Structures are given as structure tokens and as C-alpha cells.
């Protein structure tokens, strides 16, 4: 049989899961990739930003074969993984200073970007040690200039503003503030800091094709850490800036070094902006960018393709009923296959439960609202709103939309007490005063949701006056 080397490499990569630490927290991304993560809220948020919205590959930013990419503020490594999928031959250098997050980055690079160099340092304007604030429940906001009191006050203000817009009660608003509090549990970490120029020298980088920076307030200092002699070797820069002052300073530095700086894009409805800068926009526009997609992103895809192949090759009677992928077959001391050991191997997995279809119109409506709100392709009846990436601010929006469909009193706390689709649906149905009323309301909502504006107007015109 002829072996497809590209696909065989995919199997080997996925088998690296077996070598991960026992306590590694695995998750399957919406695109099928199995990764290690810290919490699903942050992972879902980063996936939507990096993979779905492609926030770092806008305004003409692109990478070609053999590109050298430096990922500053890599977090758990989703941008590094995104680059590895787009360009498997890219040379990636990923930096993450927070030790706990760095270990997760190491695991994900091992799985999906085995050639990447991961570095447990931060970048700044000088070599030094510095105190960083780490938010275990909200790692994306961790950084050298993170301020727990200020961050919590800002998030509470935004939550209360959304609560007023959603016409929530004072009780709900107070509950939101309590629910947000765990996000800002923090710890202090001392991290090593170096400069980008010293990093380029240490790794002997002839150039940087794409420099991505997400450093939560340190972005200008990182640019200031580039020596004058090195600027001409940097071709593209994408960085998140966290205030208007930092935006203006970053733009001034980049334009002074000969970059074309494009209109920054708003990021997640906050003051944060993403700045795109490139040295030769016309040349980059003409450059080709082939995006490679691995044929298999998880073991399920491998098994499904193998099953299809075997059904075409073998009579139904001898097609295996179950297929399980192992790193190696267990052997007896004499070197033969240990069939007794095979029989005891468990197919248990640390993944989230399999998708369960909603059972009724109320569940289907809630699932539809969550799917749109959380930007997911589908939501199952057993899925937990918060495990899918929901948080207190999104809970407000979710409740507002659900209340608009169902004419019953639904307190915000109910979503926290019954966070799965079917549990929330059961609680809502229990508040029904007219039998069948909510099922009909859900049906009407879903019918309207699939209609064009013209069809809705036509339907309204047909209603009796």
C-alpha cells in the first residue's frame, strides 16, 4: 500500500497526545484541533479572534513559505498554531513569560508546531527582571502593567452598562458583579525580560517576516527595544495597543522606521486596537500565500476516514465495529501481541461530551441563540454556556435575547444555576402559565429567524388588523 507521507505525519502528530502530562486539560476547537488549554472561556475567545475572525491576517498581512514569525505574548499558542497550519514550513518563535501559561504553550507547540521555538521570556526596552500580574482565570489580560483593581472596575462598569441596556434588575446587576469577581483573582510572578534585538541575535534571525505583539500595555516598550540597525530586517508588524496614547506612540515609531501603517481595527468593542504595518505593501500584495490545511486535525477525523475506506474495501461482515488509535500495540515479553492487554484498553477520553441534539423547540431556540452569540457552528443540548466560552457579559446578552422570545420571568441567576441548554429549557418551561405557549413562541422565533426581511414584511401584511 502506498503511504501518504503528509497524512501519516498527521497521525504521528495527533499521537503526541499520548505523551502529554496526565493532568493536561484537553479541548477540541471548533475546527477540530485537539489542544491543551487552561479554561474554555479564554480558549473560545482566542479561537474566535485568531482563527474565525483572522484578526492578525487583515489589511494585506500575509506569510509565505519559510517565513520567520515571532509571536510575542503567545499565551497558550493559538496564533502559533494558526501560523503552523497556514505555513507548515514557517519558522516560529513564540514567547510567553507566565510560567503556567508557558507550559501549556509548550504542549500545544509539541502537538501542532513541533519545529517552533518556545521561549519563557517577555520582551521590553531592556534586559531585566520584572514583576507581572497573572490572572489564572483570564490569562489573556495578564501582563507587566496589569492592574487588578483597575481591570475589575473597568469590567464591572462595562457589565453594568450592558445590564442597563438589557433592562436587568438591580438584583441581576449585583449578581453580575459577584460573578465577575473570580476573573480578577491574581498572583504576582517575576519574569525575565529581554529585547527583540537581543532575541534576533541570540537565535541568529536574518529577518522577521511577521512580528505579532499582544503584550497588554508593553507594546511600545517592545518596539523601543529594537536597535536601529535591526529595523530594516522586520517586514510586517501586527500589534494590539491598549490605549489611544499607546496607539499614537506605536504609529509614530513604525512610520519613522519606514512602515506603512494601516487604519487600526477595533478589537472586541474596547479601547484596544490592532495596528497593521508593513514595509512594502505593493510587493506583499503580489506575493503568493498558499494556506495549507492538514487532512486530519483529530483522532475522530482519522477514524471516520478509515471507516469509510474500510467499508469500500471490505464486505460489511468483516468491517471492524470499533476503531481505536494507540501509540503502539501492547506486546508480551516474547514480542507477540498481548491480546489480554488490548481487551483492557479503555477508550475513555478527556474531551467534552459528544454533541447531543436539542429535544424540542425551546431547546433548539436557546441553542440557536447561544450559537450565534458565542460564534459557534452548533450547540448541543448538553453543552454548558460557560464551558463553551460564555462569561458574565455574554450571559447578559444571552438573557436579553431569551427574554425577548419567551414571555416569562427569567432571572439572570437562572443561567448560572442551569447553564446547559436542556437544564435552562426545563427551568423556563416550568415557568410556563399557558401549556404549549413557550413551544409555540420558540417555533415562531425560529421561523422568523430563517426568513428574509421581505418575507417578514409580507407575513406582517397578511396578518389581520
Confidence band of 3 (pLDDT split at 50, 70, 90): very low
> In the predicted model, is pLDDT for residue 252 greater than 60?
yes
* Residue 452, pLDDT score: 55
For residue 200, name the pLDDT band (cuts at 50, 70, 90): very high
Q: Is the pLDDT of residue 462 over 70?
A: no
The CATH number of domain 361-462, selected from 1.20.1630.10, 3.40.50.300, 3.40.50.2000, 1.10.1200.10:
1.10.1200.10
Tell whether the model's pLDDT for residue 268 goes beyond 60: no
Instruction: Tell me what the mean pLDDT of segment 358-366 comes to.
Output: 88
Task: Return the biggest CA–CA distance within the chain.
Answer: 86
Report the 3 state secondary structure along 310-330.
Answer: HHHHCCHHHCCCCCCCCCCCC
Mean pLDDT, range 434-444, rounded to an integer: 77
Span 5-146+186-286 CATH architecture:
3-Layer(aba) Sandwich (3.40)
Domain ranges for the chain, please list them: 5-146+186-286, 361-462
Q: Is 193 within 8 Å of 221 (Cβ atoms)?
A: no
Out of 194-203, 309-318, 384-393, 418-427, give the one with best mean pLDDT. 194-203
Q: What 8-state DSSP symbol labels residue 195?
A: -
Instruction: With a cut of 90, say whether residue 206 has pLDDT above it.
Output: yes
- The residue ranking higher by pLDDT, 401 or 101, is 101
Average pLDDT for 367-376: 86
Per-residue pLDDT at 341: 79
pLDDT at position 237 over 50 = yes
Give the residue with greater pLDDT, 13 vs 388: 388
Better-predicted residue by pLDDT, 266 or 329: 329
The percentage of residues in the chain with a pLDDT greater than 70, rounded to a whole number, is 75
Averaged pLDDT of the chain = 80
pLDDT of residue 109: 94
**Tens digit of pLDDT for each residue in 131-165?**
999 988 888 888 998 888 877 776 666 566 656 66
Instruction: Please enumerate in sequence order all residues whose Cβ is within 8 A of that of 373, keeping only pairs 6 or more positions apart, or say none.
Output: 390, 394, 397, 398, 401
Over residues 41-67, mean pLDDT: 87
Whether the pLDDT of residue 115 is over 80: the answer is yes
Query: Which of 226 and 316 is assigned the larger pLDDT?
Result: 226
Band (pLDDT 50/70/90 cuts) for residue 27 is: confident
Is residue 64 within 8 A of residue 26, CB to CB? The reply is no
pLDDT at 321 over 80: no
106 in helix, strand or coil? helix
Query: Which contiguous run of DSSP H or E holds residue 6?
Result: helix 5-15
Q: Does the pLDDT value for residue 449 go beyond 70?
A: no
Q: Strand 210-213 and strand 236-241: pairing? A: parallel
Among the listed residues 410, 415, 379, 420, the one whose alpha carbon sits nearest the alpha carbon of residue 179: 415
Q: What is the pLDDT of residue 450?
A: 60
- Residues with Cβ < 8 Å from 185, sequence gap 6 or more? 135, 136, 137
Cα gap 252→254, rounded to integer Å: 6
On the CB side of 252, CA atoms within 13 Å amount to: 8
pLDDT, greater one: 206 or 135:
206
Residue 254 is inside which H or E element, if any?
Answer: helix 244-256
Grid coordinates given for 5: 507521507
Q: Which of 205-209, 285-289, 348-352, 397-401 has the highest mean pLDDT?
A: 205-209
Q: Nearest 5°: CA angle at 296, between 292 and 298?
A: 130
- pLDDT band for position 172 (50/70/90)? low
Amino acid at each position: 500500500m502506498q503511504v501518504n507521507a503528509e497524512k501519516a505525519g498527521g497521525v504521528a502528530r495527533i499521537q503526541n497526545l499520548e505523551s502529554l502530562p496526565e493532568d493536561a486539560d484537553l479541548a477540541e476547537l471548533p475546527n477540530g484541533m485537539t489542544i491543551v488549554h487552561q479554561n474554555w472561556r479564554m480558549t473560545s475567545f482566542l479561537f474566535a479572534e485568531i482563527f474565525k475572525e483572522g484578526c492578525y491576517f487583515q489589511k494585506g498581512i500575509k506569510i509565505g513559505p519559510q517565513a520567520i514569525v515571532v509571536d510575542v505574548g503567545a499565551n497558550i499558542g493559538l496564533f502559533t498554531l494558526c501560523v503552523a497550519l497556514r505555513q507548515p514550513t514557517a519558522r516560529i518563535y513564540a514567547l510567553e513569560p507566565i510560567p503556567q501559561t508557558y507550559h501549556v504553550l509548550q504542549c500545544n507547540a509539541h502537538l501542532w508546531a513541533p519545529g517552533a521555538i518556545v521561549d519563557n521570556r517577555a520582551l521590553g526596552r531592556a534586559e531585566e527582571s520584572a514583576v507581572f500580574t497573572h490572572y489564572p482565570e483570564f490569562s489573556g489580560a495578564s501582563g507587566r502593567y496589569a492592574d487588578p483593581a483597575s481591570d475589575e472596575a473597568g469590567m464591572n462598569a462595562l457589565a453594568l452598562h450592558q445590564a442597563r441596556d438589557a433592562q436587568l434588575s438591580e438584583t441581576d446587576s449585583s449578581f453580575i458583579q459577584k460573578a465577575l469577581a473570580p476573573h480578577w483573582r491574581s498572583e504576582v510572578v517575576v519574569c525575565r525580560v529581554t529585547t527583540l534585538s537581543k532575541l534576533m541575535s541570540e537565535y541568529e534571525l536574518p529577518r522577521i517576516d511577521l512580528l505579532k505583539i499582544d503584550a497588554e500595555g508593553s507594546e511600545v516598550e517592545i518596539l523601543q527595544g529594537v536597535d536601529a540597525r535591526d529595523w530594516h530586517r522586520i517586514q510586517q508588524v501586527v500589534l494590539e495597543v491598549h490605549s489611544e496614547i499607546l496607539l499614537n506612540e506605536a504609529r509614530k515609531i513604525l512610520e519613522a522606521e519606514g512602515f506603512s501603517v494601516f487604519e487600526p481595527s477595533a478589537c472586541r468593542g474596547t479601547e484596544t486596537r490592532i495596528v497593521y504595518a508593513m514595509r512594502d505593501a505593493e510587493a506583499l500584495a503580489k506575493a503568493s500565500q498558499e494556506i495549507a490545511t492538514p487532512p486530519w486535525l483529530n483522532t475522530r477525523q482519522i477514524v471516520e476516514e478509515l471507516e469509510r475506506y474500510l467499508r469500500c474495501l471490505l464486505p460489511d461482515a468483516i468491517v471492524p465495529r470499533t476503531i481505536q488509535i494507540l501509540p503502539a500495540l501492547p506486546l508480551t515479553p516474547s514480542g507477540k501481541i498481548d491480546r489480554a492487554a488490548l481487551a483492557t484498553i479503555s477508550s475513555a477520553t478527556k474531551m467534552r461530551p459528544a454533541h447531543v441534539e436539542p429535544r424540542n423547540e425551546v431547546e433548539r431556540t436557546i441553542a440557536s441563540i447561544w450559537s450565534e452569540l458565542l460564534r459557534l457552528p452548533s450547540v448541543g443540548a448538553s453543552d454548558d454556556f460557560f464551558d463553551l466560552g460564555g462569561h458574565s457579559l455574554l450571559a447578559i446578552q444571552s438573557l436579553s435575547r431569551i427574554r425577548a422570545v419567551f414571555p416569562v420571568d427569567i432571572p439572570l441567576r437562572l443561567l448560572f444555576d442551569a447553564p446547559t441548554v436542556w437544564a435552562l429549557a426545563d427551568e423556563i418551561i416550568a415557568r410556563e402559565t399557558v401549556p404549549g405557549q413557550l413551544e409555540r413562541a420558540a417555533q415562531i422565533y425560529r421561523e422568523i429567524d430563517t426568513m428574509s426581511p421581505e418575507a417578514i414584511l409580507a407575513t406582517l401584511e397578511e396578518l389581520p388588523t
